[in-house]
Structure 1
Amino acid sequence: MSLNNIFQFLVPKDKKFFPLFEQATQNLVLLAQTLHEAVNAPKPEREAYFKKIEELEAVIEQVTHNTNLELSRNFITPFDREDIHALISAIDNVAGYLYGASNRMKLYQVEKISKSIRKMTEITLEGTQLIQIAVSDLKDMKKLHNIADVCKKLYKLEAKSDSVFDKAVADIFENETDVKNIIKYKEVLSALETAADKCKGVANVLESIAVKHS
């Protein structure tokens, strides 16, 4: 048994940080799902979805704040303090860019939602669901191999997102003649592509934690 595993055995079961991680990931999945529903809804119905997304992003920001407060109050943590901070910050980053995509659609009054935007919200939704699974597996350090498998899927999703983004941007410049629309679509797509990249950022943190405790 490694020193890390011995330490984990001796440390009391965490009752503070994992509930916060679970709250963050549950709301992250709900945010991504709401965004995916928004882009598949008629334009008059989108406003309600956008408002819900804003509320969910605020909840995740508060969870991030609460996690950092707990770090300042607690000497004993389930794993390295810097990794806890990195993980909750990475989750918050995903939420921030998904909200950014939603906000751009609202502010720029994007009327027609392209297939590529729908595809990218589908990719980010799958990414957040994988993040939720991996974070849940952190509670049981015997499931570290599961985390590695999820991280591989997240890396593949990010590569898929890059491909969809590149093709979508090329299509915009080839087929769209209105400069305003070019800017609108590119801004929304860029935010979604960055959100997928931030999902990969969560995978990087999770993989680092798994390696330290393997």
Structure 2
Amino acid sequence: MTTGQDRKRPGRPPGPSDTRERILAVARDLFARNGFDNTSIRSIAGGAGVDAALVHHYFGTKTQLFAAAIHIPIDPMTVIGPLRDVPVDQIGHVLPALLLPLWDSEMGKGFIATLRSLLAGSDVSMVRSFLQDVITAEVGGRVDDPPGTGRIRVQFVASQLVGVVMARYILELEPFKSLPVEQIAKTIAPNLQRYLTGDLPGLG
């Protein structure tokens, strides 16, 4: 005999672990095929055969779901969000001061491991989409001067930061690997700021 306690809760299919993994699998596929902007929580839920509310229940926001889909151990918006309150002429200085200590932390080890996996796998399109759809949307519009240069300015910044990750954490070049994070952040900050707000050859 089925009691009230035995009945499934509405919207909660059996096997929560399987359901979570099914949502992640669909999310990875849709993010890779359609990009971050063109993938909705509703479409992911539909593909996984669950209610959209259940996706939010397991993962929270779309950026948190994206982070889970590519195994980034932190919500990207914890870094991107604070930049909204940073004056444009300071973003290049604040960004490395936020990222370098994070990459050097225990949590950062998970990020580096994920990056190694992505570089060796086929999920690069997801990261490219996230960079173009989210980072550029958040920062690019603020540095789009002259008009039309915001996207490439953000990509110049990304190239510098990816270079730091490669040299310090992937290739582990010495003495760069052992430099204090504050020294690296202060050294690259003026260059990042120039990419964002300075004159760049051939732009404009």
Calculate the TM-score normalised by the size of structure 1. Answer: 0.32
Calculate the TM-score normalised by the size of structure 2. Answer: 0.33
- In our comparison, the structure showing a higher alpha carbon Rg is 2
Higher RCO (C-alpha 8 Å, min separation 6): 1
